[in-house]
Amino acid sequence: MKVGVLALQGAFDRHAQALSLAGAAPLEVRGSQYLEEIDALVIPGGESTTMMKLAESLNVRKRLMERIEDGLPVLGTCAGMILLSKEIFDGRDDQHPFGSIDIGVRRNGYGRQLNSFEEDLEINDFDTPFRGVFIRAPLVERIGNNVEVLASVEGHPVFCREGKIMVTSFHPELVDDDRVHRLFLETAFASN
């Protein structure tokens, strides 16, 4: 399983480590040519506006959106959730998400850096709680009919799935627990 990690900006190296532990062969995606070599992709946290601009300027955006439309499984965490969403309620005029999962988000919806927090999450199909690390996390304010909510905090979805697209408001790569990455791989490579 060759799983790309979008390595334009953000905490991509921690995702590569988690994917290795979960049994995948990670590949840092730094340009559109790498998108042809992967079977799935992780879009890490970071600064969503910067990531969108880099994806555009490095000619990654168009090919990535084509691959997603063709069924490429993707896990987006924090900024990755913002990029994959259908709507950004407080986005800039030049910030256009990929529209890959039918959710609407508010950037930094949980507050600034000082409002970062950790929370034990009850995630569907996990026997024990998963420690979620929320850093300037996006807040999901709208979910589409076909979106499955896998975990919530105070009634707000923080882990969603639609088909083979999964998104989290939190950073699963920052804890020593690879269950989110394993679930993504299971979802990505499950037979249709």
List, in order, residues 6 or more apart from 41 with CB less than 8 Å away.
3, 4, 5, 6, 29, 35, 64, 67, 72, 73, 74, 75
Residue 173 annotated in active site: yes
Contact predicate 123/160, CB 8 Å: no
Q: Which of 86-90, 126-130, 171-175 has the lowest mean pLDDT?
A: 86-90
Contact predicate 4/64, CB 8 Å: no
At 94-151, the pLDDT tens digits run 778 999 999 999 988 887 777 789 999 999 989 999 999 999 999 999 999 999 999 9
Per-residue confidence (pLDDT) for residue 93, from 0 to 100: 73
Question: Residue 75 and residue 41: Cα distance in Å, rounded?
Answer: 6
Q: Which of 13-22, 53-62, 91-100, 162-171 has the lowest mean pLDDT?
A: 91-100
- The topology under which CATH files domain 2-188 is Rossmann fold (3.40.50)
Query: What are the sequence ranges of the domains in the chain?
Result: 2-188
- Residues counted in the chain: 192
Task: Tell me which residue has tokens 């879009």.
Answer: 43
Residue 87 annotated in active site: no
Residue 91: pLDDT over 90? no
Which one from 15, 160, 162, 173 is the annotated catalytic residue? 173
Which one from 15, 78, 160, 181 is the annotated catalytic residue? 78
Residue 96 annotated in active site: no
Which one from 15, 160, 162, 171 is the annotated catalytic residue? 171
Burial classification of residue 127, based on how many CB atoms lie within 10 Å of its CB (0-12 exposed, 13-18 middle, 19 or more buried): exposed
pTM of the model: 0.94
Average pLDDT, the chain: 92
Contact predicate 180/172, CB 8 Å: yes
